[in-house]
Amino acid sequence: MTKFKIEYRKFGIRRSISGNIPTKYAEMTAAQFMATVRISKGMITDEEFFVEFLGVPRHVLARLDGYQLFKITEILEILKSNQSFDDFFIPSIGKYKAPYAQLSGMSFQQFMTVDTFYSWYNYTENKDYLYRFASTLYLKNGEAARFASSDNNIDIDKRIAFFMTVDEDRLQAIVLNWLLIHEWLSECYRDLFPKSETPRKDKNGNIIKSKPGDWLQVFDSLIGDKLEAMEDYRKLECMDIFRIINRRIKDSKTKKK
């Protein structure tokens, strides 16, 4: 965290505004995170970003010279590097709630569903996947156990209709948040969640996207021929499952050496 102080005069009286500039996502407030999402998606101007991110009035921001703004921008450049975060900046939307920090309470079934829709949205940019991603990530109180069941009776279409009314910046914030959680998972379970590689590009400079993986294959490999345990595995917390799978992958690599 880097402190800043802006001094100015109003009606001849010396005044000042001070605050903090985060140097990593974990230090951000929800408002600062939203400002970062909006500027990255071209939803606001640079000036609007600084006003929202620094929490200063527009007339005070206007008093900063080019060098001061450059130094602030220089600090914010750090945020472009891959970073991790293990919680949700937007804990709830309407009556729906995100999982707790470190995905506590999130079943393996819910994680597989959420991550599949997230991956397909990134791959296709089809908004239908975006709405399904948000609709399966945010649940009502007490729904986590039902979601993990093969007959959960949750009206997903009604939920999708609700998330279609949510502001675009909030939906994009959820997408970025999930990416940060992926980075955190790669720090916890490196064999199961390898670090993101530098994207490949074609001759025109366009990013070549890799087709999303299949969590069902991972699930089938996990349960093997123990079909009677399928429902139990769906309900287990995802972090417990990740620990098991990561250890198996690690042991398999060790045996091959």
pLDDT, one tens digit per residue, over 95-113 is 999 999 999 999 999 999 9
pLDDT at 60 exceeding the cut of 80: no
Residues near 128 by beta carbon (within 8 Å), at least 6 away in sequence:
none
Distance from C-alpha of 109 to C-alpha of 7, rounded to nearest angstrom = 53
pLDDT of residue 40: 87
The pLDDT mean for the chain works out to 86
pLDDT at 251 exceeding the cut of 70: yes
Q: Which amino acid is at 197?
A: E
Give the side-chain half-sphere CA count within 13 A for 243.
5
**C-alpha dihedral, 155 to 156 to 162 to 167, nearest 10°:** 160
Distance from C-alpha of 73 to C-alpha of 89, rounded to nearest angstrom = 22
Distance from C-alpha of 85 to C-alpha of 87, rounded to nearest angstrom = 6
Q: How confident is the model at residue 9 (pLDDT cuts 50, 70, 90)?
A: confident
Distance from C-alpha of 163 to C-alpha of 234, rounded to nearest angstrom = 25
Contact 116, 97 (CB under 8 A): no
Question: What's the distance, CA 248 to chain centroid?
Answer: 27
pLDDT of residue 8: 67
Q: How confident is the model at residue 212 (pLDDT cuts 50, 70, 90)?
A: confident
pTM for the model: 0.88
Q: Which amino acid is at 182?
A: H
Report the pLDDT averaged over residues 10-25. Answer: 77
Report the pLDDT averaged over residues 109-135. Answer: 96
Identify any residues that bridge with 19 across adjacent strands, giving them in sequence order: 4
SS3 category, 74: helix
Distance from C-alpha of 157 to C-alpha of 12, rounded to nearest angstrom = 60
Identify any residues that bridge with 16 across adjacent strands, giving them in sequence order: 7
pLDDT of residue 59: 79
Between 15 and 158, the higher pLDDT residue = 158
Q: How confident is the model at residue 78 (pLDDT cuts 50, 70, 90)?
A: low
Q: Which two tokens stand for residue 187?
A: 């720090």
- Percent with pLDDT over 90 in the chain: 44
pLDDT at 170 exceeding the cut of 80: yes
pLDDT of residue 68: 67
Between 199 and 60, the higher pLDDT residue = 60
Between 195 and 116, the higher pLDDT residue = 116
